[in-house]
Amino acid sequence: MLLTPRWVGRFALLLVVVAVCAWLGSWLWGRAWGETVRAPLASVAAFTDVHQPGVSVDQAEVGRRVTLSGSFVPDQELLVVDRQQSDRLGVWVLTAFEVEGADGAVVPVVRGWVPSGESVPPPPKGRVAIAGWLEPTESDALRKRGRDPLPDGQVEIVSSAELLSLWQPPLYQGFVIQQQPQPESPLVGVSPPSLTVEQPVDWQNAAYGIQWWLFGLFAIFWFVRMVRVEREDLAAEPDVPDPGSLDTMEAPDEYGSSKG
Amino acid sequence: MTNSTAAEKAKATRSALTRYRVMAWAAGIGLLLLCANMFLRYVLDVETVLDLVPRVHGFVYMGYLVTVFDLSFRMKWSLSKGVLVCLAGTVPFLSFVAEHRITRQTREALAAS
C-alpha cells in the first residue's frame, strides 16, 4: 500500500537524516569525554643525566623530553598490543635501545604506532641520536586481557618487570617514547600517556550530542505519524480498492473534513 | 461530522497555532542571541552571559519543531512545507517572516472552514 516511489524516497530520506543525526550525536558525545594534552616539561635533558639503570624513573622527570644517543637492538623488539590512536586500534613498536656510554644498558623505546596487522619497518642501523619523552613503567592495572597468553613477541603493557625476563640486562626502568618516528615509514608518533590528563566532562558537547539524537528520534516520529495519516486517508477513500478499508469505512473522517 | 466537533477542531488548531507562534518567537530570538554570542566569543573573544545560549538553544529549537509538527498535521501540510518551516527556524530573521506567513495562512484557512 505504501510501496510507492514517493514513500520509498521518503523512507530513504528518513534513513539519511537519522544516520546523520546519530553520527553527529555520537561524535559530540565522544568529544565531551575527550582527553587533553598537558604541556611537556619545558627543558630538554640528556637522558643519561636524568635516569640511571636499575632505578625507577624519578617522579620529577616523568614526561621530560630527553635526547639520547646509541643504537637500536633489532632482535629485541616487541609489539605492545591494543593501543588506540585516533580511534583506531594498533600496536606500539617497542625496541631495545643500547644507550651510548651506559655500559651496554638498554632502554625500551616506543618507535611509534602502526595499525594492527601492518608490517613494522626495521629500526635504523648503527649509531643514532633520538629525542623522546621519558615515561615510567606502565601499571599492571592497564592489563585488560586477563590471563590470555599473547603470542611470542607481543606484550600488553610496557612493564619493566616483564621486560627484564625477556631482554638481556642491564636494563633501564621505564621507557622512552620517540618524539619523531623515523621518516618515510608507516610509524605514527605516539603522544605520551603521562602528559595526557583527563579533561573535565564537557557538558556543552554532551548536550549538543543529546540534541542531535533527539532530532533523529523526532524525524522517526514524524515519519511514523505520516505513515499513519496516509493509511487512515487511504482507508477512508471509498474509491481505493483496499481490503483493509471495509472495517474502517464507517469511522468518522477525521482528517478530510476540515477542507469542507 | 457535527458542527460542535468542527468547532472543537478549529479551537484546537487555534491553540496549536498559538503554541507554534510562541515557539517561533522563542527560537527566532534565541537564534539571534546565538549569533550575537558567536560574534562576541569567536570574533571579539570575550566571555559574556550569552555563553549560556548555545546550551539551551537546541532544546528551544526542539520545542519549536514539535509545535511545527503538531500544526503541520492539523493543517495537512505537505512534507516539504513542514520541513521548510522547520528549516526556517535555523535562519536568522527568516523565522519571523515564516511565522508571519504561517499565521496569516492558518487564520485564513480557519476562517474559510
Q: Which of A196, A208, A148, A246 is nearest to A38 (CA)?
A: A196
The residues spanned by each domain of chain A are 5-31+202-249, 38-198
Residues of B with CB under 8 A from a CB of A: 1, 6, 9, 54-55, 58-59, 62, 65-66, 69, 73, 76, 79, 82, 109, 113
Q: Could you give the angle at the alpha carbon of A28 between the alpha carbons of A23 and A34, nearest 5°?
A: 125
What phi-psi label fits residue A146: left (phi over 0), alpha (psi between -120 and 50 degrees) or beta? left
pLDDT for A250 beyond 70: no
pLDDT for A232 beyond 50: yes
Considering only CB atoms, which chain B residues are within 8 Å of A258?
A: 6, 9, 76, 109, 113
> And the C-alpha cell for A235?
482507508
pLDDT for A37 beyond 60: no
How confident is the model at residue A197, as a pLDDT? 64
Alpha helices (runs of H) in chain A, residue ranges in sequence order: 5-32, 47-50, 160-166, 203-236, 245-248
Contacts within 8 Å (CB) and 24+ apart, B72-77: B73/A225, B73/A229, B74/B9, B74/B12, B74/B13, B74/B16, B75/B13, B75/B106, B75/B109, B76/A255, B76/A258, B76/A259
Gap between the Cα atoms of A56 and A172, Å rounded = 8
Q: How confident is the model at residue A39 (pLDDT cuts 50, 70, 90)?
A: low
* B58 contacts A211? CB cut-off 8 A: yes
pLDDT for A260 beyond 50: no
AA identity, residue A111: R
* A211 contacts B69? CB cut-off 8 A: no
User: Beta partners for A90?
Assistant: A83, A115
Whether A186 contacts A121, CB under 8 Å: yes
CA distance B55 to chain A (A): 6
Closest Cα in chain A to B55: A204
Residues making up chain A, counted from first to last: 260
* B113 contacts A259? CB cut-off 8 A: yes
Closest in B1, B73, B113 to A229, CB measured = B73
> And the C-alpha cell for A112?
611509534
Q: What is the mean pLDDT of residues A186-192?
A: 87
Q: How confident is the model at residue A202 (pLDDT cuts 50, 70, 90)?
A: confident
Q: What is the mean pLDDT of residues A241-247?
A: 47
How confident is the model at residue A40, as a pLDDT? 60
Closest in A214, A221, A258 to B9, CB measured = A258
Best of A10, A214, A222, A229 to mutate (most B CBs within 10 Å, chain B): A222
How confident is the model at residue A42, as a pLDDT? 66
* A204 contacts B55? CB cut-off 8 A: yes
Residue A103 DSSP code: T
What phi-psi label fits residue B68: left (phi over 0), alpha (psi between -120 and 50 degrees) or beta? alpha
* A255 contacts B76? CB cut-off 8 A: yes
How confident is the model at residue B41, as a pLDDT? 79
A80: helix, coil or strand? Answer: strand
Whether A231 contacts A3, CB under 8 Å: no
Closest in A208, A225, A253 to B73, CB measured = A225
* A218 contacts B79? CB cut-off 8 A: no
pLDDT for A67 beyond 90: yes
Q: Which of A208, A17, A247 is nearest to B83 (CA)?
A: A17
Measured CA distances, B36 to A45, A87, B63, B95 (Å): 48, 35, 21, 16
pLDDT tens for B51-71 read 778 778 888 998 999 999 999
pLDDT for A253 beyond 60: no
A131: helix, coil or strand? Answer: strand
pTM recorded for the entire structure: 0.52
**Whole-number mean pLDDT of chain B?**
87
Gap between the Cα atoms of B75 and B88, Å rounded = 18
Q: Exposed, middle or buried by CB within 10 Å (0-12, 13-18, 19+), for B50?
A: middle
Q: What is the mean pLDDT of residues A150-163?
A: 90
Gap between the Cα atoms of A107 and A167, Å rounded = 10
Least confident of A158-162, B6-10, B14-18, B97-101: B6-10
> And the C-alpha cell for B16?
496549536
Considering only CB atoms, which chain B residues are within 8 Å of A225?
A: 69, 73
If DSSP states are collapsed to H, E and C, what string results for A51-79?
CCCCCCCCHHHCCCEEEEEEEEEEEEEEE
Gap between the Cα atoms of A111 and B22, Å rounded = 61
* B65 contacts A218? CB cut-off 8 A: yes
Q: What is the mean pLDDT of residues A215-224?
A: 91
> And the C-alpha cell for B56?
539551551
